[in-house]
Structure 1
Amino acid sequence: MSLLDFPTTDTLPKLLERNARENPHAAGIREKTRGVWQTLTWTDYRDRVRDFALGLASMGFERGDKLSVVGDNRPQLYIAQLSAQVLGGMSVPVYQDSIASELVYVLNHAESSVIVAEDQEQVDKALSLKGKLPNLRLIVFDDPRGLWDYGDPMLRSFESMLEAGRTFAKANPGFYAAELGKGRPDDIAMIAYTSGTTGNPKGAMLSHRNMMAAAESFLEVNDVRPGDNWLSYLPMAWLGDAAFSLGLALVGKLTANCPESPETVQRDLRELGPSAMLAPPRIWENMLTQVQVKGDDASPVKRRVFDYFRGLAERCELKRTDGTSLSLADRLGLAAGEMLVYGPVRDQLGLRNARWCYTGGAPLGPDTYRFFRSFGINLKQIYGATEASALVTCQSNAEANPNTVGRPMPRVEVRIDDRGEVMLKGPNVFRGYFKQEESTRATLTGDGWLMTGDAGFFDKQGHLVIIDRAKDVGKLTDGSAFAPQFIENKLKFSPYIREAVAFGDGRPMVVAMIAIDMQTVGTWAERKGLAYSSFMDLSRKADVAALIAEEVAKANATLPDVQQVKRFLLLNKELEADDAEMTRTRKVRRRFVAEKYAAVVDAFYGGAGRVKVTMEITFEDGRKSSLISDIDIHDLAPAEPSRRAA
């Protein structure tokens, strides 16, 4: 069988074959190494997938086997996933910062037989766990630095796998084409593990049809062009990355670009100037914090200029949202601001060339959303779920709105059930959870409707509005609605607040635990001449408490009276995924946090001014220690409403 016998493109590897045939010399994927961007054409990309797939076959990898990748975004890790799919296997990306117990659970549950690791750090982690991984047969590493004298028989270098594949091809000349031809659209391409906000993560089985359908729908309603540059920097285990860096890149012929390291992402972003960008709220909030800190650190004249044009931009953005025409003075002011402030800020963020940007994965606060749009960044909301191949709804350029997540994408049906839960149906909906039939039945109805677990409704324009996770929406004792994420996003608009957890369901008032942003609060403290030695020391300073009280008061001024935060506490450590307080995608595990900090919640509502808090800290190898301290609880006076946020 010849590769020319494949007119169909019904699997991801077949799409790669099409791209290599139709655009052989166009850039398929890039990697920045030692300061230089290295490009693989679509032909190079395909050839490496072919050789690695044959290398896997030479090692006994068969249909139905699972291959896990662990590390930062690297072409070799994307190549490995597609190679497994060529052979009818499934890719299982895992979070590179997972602690040992999390890795063991996912790798064992998925029955992964091959791990492709980025470097020595990930190899050491895999080797330390191999005694707990009975299915593991092979560990492949990309970066050989530090691994020259490792003699474990499980270890193979990525390059040696390519060479083994080329040798295998000589002895089996038709093997690759035959295996590629066996692929069917309903074959499982990937097992994507959910973030696990309520317990152990579940493995969502996504077929080639699922991932391709999501990408095709997105292409129909967005300005995506072949050759567009896409920065592949999001965690590979988060399905949002696979949806774009694999699904959309292969369907739409985008060029995926892997940054040199997580530490150089912002620099590489500015250098690349991508055509589009997807980022979770945490990234947009960090960008906003950077802009705010630079504005505060500027000279008095520059700070006044920045503040003036920022205020003008936000007023004009609100006018556009309300459908009000801009005056001549507004337009002239925006033109001047484009030269002096808006354009330079977009340059600093690396977004001058971006035709559109999306935020997804969790709600983004409306103030943060409007800030970026007012500075000329075409930021829009997207809504998705792991079980729906990451893409469900999105906003058009003309309908950007911080309060909705847009309209359903083509061929995706969305409805709201009697309890207010969002349900959806379409070719992007997953095949079920791997080895968890009971969870599948609880999530996927008999006629194919996916129960998302999100509470929402459609507005008058037909746009979907997501309120919060259905299980988190509640009421105060007076019957007022309580949606914690809405309040938390208001608080996190402050550059000094990194995380916030609001409580109020079944209670008489709203209270919040707050984790400061160490970098921005530390910079503020240094300017004030305030000495500190650690996160705990800084968070316990009276001056810092007063600073955060001012920030909470600002947020309260934009909230209805009943939803205003009445009491708050500054945590003496950051909320961490390693401590199970958050998921790897930075979502709060509310049930766990409420149980862990039950003493704090009782103190909030018992009127105490101080509470003893015991915090358990988990190290990467699974060891634990405790941190015990007395923490003050702060009360706030009722805010004087300056404006009401939508």
Structure 2
Amino acid sequence: MLDHQTLLRGEGTLPGLLRLRARERGQQVALREKVQGIWRGRTWADYYRDARRTALGLMKLGLQRGDRIVIASEDIPEWFYADLGAQMLGVQVVGIYPTNPWAEVQYIAGHCQAKVAITGDQEQTDKVLDAMKAGPGLPHLRHIFCVDMKGLRRYAPGEPHSYEHLMALGDQLIQEDPLAEQRLDRSIDALVPDDVNILVYTSGTTGPPKGAMLTHRNFIFAAYSYAAARQMVDKRFESVCYLPLCHVAERGYSTVLHLLTGGCVNFAESIDTVSANIREIAPTFFLGVPRIWEKLQQHFEFRMKDSGRVQRWLYRVGMKRGRALSDRRAVRGRLVSLGDRFEFGFWYLLLFRNMQRHMGLNRTHTRMCGGASVSPETLKFFDVIGLPVGQGYGLTEAGGLAFVQVPGRPFVPGSCGPAMPGVEWRVGEDGEVFVRSPGVFQGYLFDDKGTQDILAPDGWLASGDIVEVRATDEIAVVDRKKAIIITSGGKNIAPSEIENALKDSPFVREAIVVGEGRKFLGGLIQIDFDSVGRWAAERELPYTTFKSLTQMGEVRELIQQVVDEVNSKFARVENIRKFVLLEKELDHDDGELTATQKVRRGLINKKFARELEQIYGGAS
């Protein structure tokens, strides 16, 4: 049996950690969800018991080490039970985004040859059933178990069965075979850190998704190194789980970091209620994608516009003084002078404390932004009010994280921080960053060529990201290597920096810079419907739909002002000469965005041919 510290430091497995927590903290609350308006908790003993029941149910169905299951569901406790229960048998778990259409469900479940599907509700079940009926179907899939059977009672006899039925199969196995639980214990004991336990399918921005094979060691190393770097190993961990659990980030924090720290995970009711749930829970740890941080900032700024004259004046002065203090803190990593500390304390009591409480982040000791680059102005806003947000850099194939900003260091704008303990790195001649660590994956499932293209025999992983080295040991991401635009004049331009500058405006929801092989850069811009709609209403400009709003001359002039302001910050060759306002919001179902809301750049010429014609008029 591995000792406590060995398990925590990476020489363990996720089911082993769950068993440890159940023994140490069995009666402490591990998971909470809102049921009929009331937050209800489940203990570590409950978590471990239901994961074991799931494992025994899968054992009853004949699943063995090396088999695979898929989970297609919103974030719910049963996600955790199915995930850890399957891993107890050495069965590999594949998550599917709940927003994926049936065709993508078919591709992923078919590619990984899943034998069992766990679904959250009727919508996800229907996708699996559609995938089974259409085209090549899902020849390896044997069973479907659904958590919420509402709407499924009148389906044809047989499957799908309820998730409770799967756990009941486990109970039945124990009655039939008194040695079943001993076999399960031996299965958990037989797991080793380098066993593949989770497959994460990449977002597929330039091609079909690839199944990255990750091990217990990959995940535990990345989570433990992050906790050590952020000085949170012994701090209270309470989080809000709302990002898709099939994504490496949410899996790494809500599942693995939760197991390492022994805290509590709270399930948001939905993506639309995240802000309200944060205020109810007041988490100590919060992971937000850029859009969440931007929305928190915009919501508060809009709220201040509707407040009284005195409050607006107080907010304006406080933010101005707070910015000056933030600038000084950035130099040394902390406020040095007694006067600065006293002034921040004054504004904290008068203004910032209430802002933090309003957002529900007043108890957070660690805040993280992940998933994509975020506007420096958004980060500055939170730093000003005393809620610095850490950035990091990583990729699925490296266990999710490799670099992270750490407390107490001077702030380097745009930096992702230094490498985490145990991570080696180097930069190639073209600026691509390579990493090597215990977090690096074992390769892509059934794709030797794809693996060889990215992973060298000596363990170095080619990230595909171009970076700049700052402050000698920190990196800042410039852009994806494949996203770099080369104009007809031979200029190499990283579009993401320009796109992020455009998205600094509350009126811009999405921006796509184009210009590969062209004489100048163009822009495809999606307005923020809420912000621009509010702006139009304040000016009594009538509109009915998203399309009608984008077609208003006043709105185009508004966005032209945003583009002109951004152009003034960049060299002329990096200026957007012409832009088009998209007449619909980009959508995953229409193939314009990945499940992680990233633009599918490989489809730009096809999806936006009409808009490109408007910008370039058939000329380069």
Shared fold (TM-score, shorter chain, > 0.5) = yes
Q: 1:595 to 1:45 in 2, by over 3 A?
A: same
Q: Is 1:551 aligned to 2:559, yes or no?
A: no
Q: 2:400 aligns with which of 383, 387, 390?
A: 390
Q: Of 41, 44, 51, which residue of structure 2 is paired with 1:42?
A: 44
CA drift of 1:523 comes to 1.8
Counterparts of 1:143-162 in structure 2 under 5 Å? 143-162=148-167
The 1:152/1:440 distance shift into structure 2, 3 A limit, reads farther
Match of 1:220 among 213, 224, 228: 228
SS in 2 for 1:51: helix
Which one of 175, 183, 187 corresponds to residue 179 of structure 1? Answer: 187
Report the residue type matching 1:181 in the other structure: D
What residue number does 1:634 align with?
none
Aligned with residue 496 of structure 1, among 501, 507, 511: 507
Moved more, 49-58 or 219-228: 219-228
Q: What aligned pairs does 1:202-217 form with structure 2 within 5 A after superposition?
A: 202-217=210-225
The CA distance in 1 between the partners of 2:405 and 2:96, in whole Å, is 30
The question of 1:582 aligning with 2:593 is answered yes
* Structure 2 counterpart of 1:469: 480
Aligned position for 1:188? 196
1:340-398 Cα deviation digits (max 9, x unpaired): 43222222222111112111221112111111111211201111101011011101112
| Partners of 1:24 and 1:578 in 2: CA distance | 42
In structure 1, the residue matched to 2:112 is 110
Q: Which piece of structure 1 moves more, 248-257 or 93-102?
A: 248-257
Stretches of structure 2 lacking an aligned partner (at least 5 in a row): none
Pick which of 242-251 and 163-172 moved more.
Answer: 163-172
SS at match of 1:191: strand
> 1:125 Cα shift?
2.3
Aligned counterpart for 1:415 among listed residues 426, 434, 440: 426
SS at match of 1:398: coil
Q: How does 1:240-251 map to 2 (within 5 A)?
A: 240-251=249-260
- Alpha carbons 2:105, 2:127 under 8 Å: kept: no
Per the normalisation by structure 1, the TM-score is: 0.89
Q: 2:296 aligns with which of 287, 300, 314?
A: 287
Secondary structure, counterpart of 2:158 in structure 1: coil
After TM superposition, the structure 1 stretch with the greater mean CA deviation from structure 2, 415-424 or 259-268, is 259-268
Percent identity between matched residues is: 34
CA distance in 1, matches of 2:614, 2:534: 31
Q: Which residue type is aligned with residue 483 of structure 2? A: D
Counterpart residue number, 1:259: 268
Segment drifting more, 121-130 vs 445-454: 121-130
**Distance verdict in 2 for CA 1:438–1:3, change over 3 Å:** closer
Where do 5+ consecutive residues of structure 1 fail to align?
A: 609-646
Determine the C-alpha separation between the residues in 2 that align with 1:421 and 1:101. 34
Residues 3 and 177 of structure 1 are in contact (CA less than 8 Å); yes or no, is this contact kept in structure 2? no
Q: Tell me, in whole angstroms, the C-alpha distance in 2 between the residues paired with 1:188 and 1:353.
A: 36
Residue-by-residue CA offset, 1:301-324 (whole Å, 9 max, x unaligned): 433332332233233323333459
Contact 1:594/1:601 (CA < 8 Å) preserved in 2? yes
Once the two structures are superposed, the pairs formed by residues 341-380 of structure 1 within 5 Å of their partners are 341-380=351-390
Distance 1:4 1:388 in 2: 26
1:458 has 2:469 as partner: yes
Structure 1, 356-365 or 153-162: larger mean CA deviation: 153-162
* Deviation by residue 1:452-479 (Cα, 9 ceiling, x = unmatched): 1000132233101211101222455566
Amino acid in the other structure paired with 1:168: L
**Matched residue, 1:142:** 147
1:162 aligned partner, one-letter code: M
1:9-66 CA distances to partner (integer Å, 9 max, x unpaired)? 6211011001111222222222222222221211111111111110111122222111
Q: CA offsets per residue over residues 108-144 of structure 1, 9 Å max, x none?
A: 1111111111112222222232222212111111123
Residue matched to 1:24: 26
Cα 1:41–1:301 shift into 2, 3 Å = same
What is residue 240 of structure 2 aligned with on the other side?
Answer: 231
Q: Which moved more, 1:166-175 or 1:95-104?
A: 166-175
SS at match of 2:81: helix
* In the alignment, structure 1 residue 198 sits paired with structure 2 residue 206: yes
Paired residues of 1:482 and 1:504 also in contact (CA < 8 A): no
Q: What is the alpha-carbon distance in structure 2 between the residues aligned to residue 401 and residue 505 of structure 1?
A: 31
Aligned to 1:271: 280
**Structure 2 vs 1, CA of residues 69 and 493 (structure 1 numbering), >3 Å: closer, same or farther?**
same
| Aligned ranges 1:440-459 → 2 under 5 Å | 440-459=451-470
Secondary structure at 2:425 match in 1: strand
Matched, 1:536 2:541: no
Further displaced range: 445-454 or 177-186: 177-186
**CA apart distance, 1:503:** 2.1
Structure 1 residue 551 displacement after superposition? 2.4
What CA distance in whole angstroms lies between the structure 2 residues aligned with 1:264 and 1:468?
A: 32
More displaced 10-residue stretch of structure 1: 536-545 or 561-570: 561-570
Q: 1:162-218 CA deviation, whole Å, 9 max, x = no partner?
A: 222122123233222122122122211101000111011100000111111112211
Q: Deviations over 1:401-438 (max 9, x none)?
A: 33110111111111111221111111100000001111
Match of 1:638 in 2: none
Structure 2 contact 352–386 (Cα < 8 Å) conserved: yes
More divergent stretch after superposition (276-285 vs 140-149): 140-149
Change (3 A) 1:87 1:282: same
Distance 1:369 1:512, change over 3 A: same
C-alpha distance 20-510 of structure 1, shift in aligned 2 (>3 A)? same
Aligned residues of 1:26 and 1:227 also touching (Cα < 8 A)? no
Give the CA deviation at 1:243: 0.7
- Structure 2 SS opposite 1:407: coil
Shift of 1:299: 3.6
The alpha-carbon deviation at position 258 of structure 1 amounts to 1.0
Relative to structure 1, is the Cα distance of residues 354 and 602 closer, same or farther in structure 2, using a 3 angstrom cutoff? Answer: same
Instruction: Give the counterpart letter for 1:498 in structure 2.
Output: R
Aligned ranges for residues 4-153 of structure 1 at < 5 Å?
10-131=12-133, 132-153=137-158
C-alpha contact 2:466 2:477 (8 A) present in aligned 1: yes
CA distance in 2, matches of 1:39, 1:530: 49
Larger CA deviation: 26-35 vs 201-210: 26-35
Aligned in 2, Cα 1:510/1:299: closer, same or farther, shift over 3 Å?
Answer: farther
Contact 1:270–1:349 (CA under 8 A) maintained in structure 2: yes
| Corresponding letter in the other structure for 2:387 | I
1:302 aligns with one of 283, 292, 311: 311
Closer, same or farther: CA 366–506 of 1 in aligned 2, 3 Å: farther
* C-alpha distance in 1 between matches for 2:562 and 2:384: 22
